[in-house]
Amino acid sequence: MFVHKDNMLKANFKFPNFTRAFAFMTEVAFLAEQQNHHPNWSNVYNVVEINLTTHDQGNVVTQKDHTLAAAIESVYQKYIVD
C-alpha cells in the first residue's frame, strides 16, 4: 500500500464511513506513540492519507518509517474485512 515517493512513504486508506476511518486513526495513533514515530496525516470523511518520513534524520525514509508502515498496513486489514 505504501509507496516511496518524494522522500516519504505515502498511502491512502479508504473506509466505508468516517467512524471506521477515525477508529483506524486512533489505533494507529497508539502504535505511533509506542514507536515514538509519528505520521503526517489527514482525514477527509472516509479517507485517511498518511505520509511517513523521519524528521530527525533530515526528512528521509528510514527503517522507522518502514516499520510503522508495516504496522499500519496490518491494522488496516482489520478495518476492511467487514
Can you give the residue ranges of every domain in the chain? 3-79
pLDDT higher than 60, residue 82: no
Q: How far does Cα 82 stand from its chain's mean position?
A: 20
Neighbours of 30 (CB within 10 A): 10
**For the whole model, what pTM was predicted?**
0.92
Residue 80 confidence class, pLDDT cut points 50, 70, 90: confident
Q: Per CATH, the architecture of 3-79 is what?
A: 2-Layer Sandwich (3.30)
- Write the DSSP symbol of residue 7: T
Mean pLDDT of 7-28: 97
Which of 46, 24, 50 minimizes the C-alpha distance to 37?
A: 50
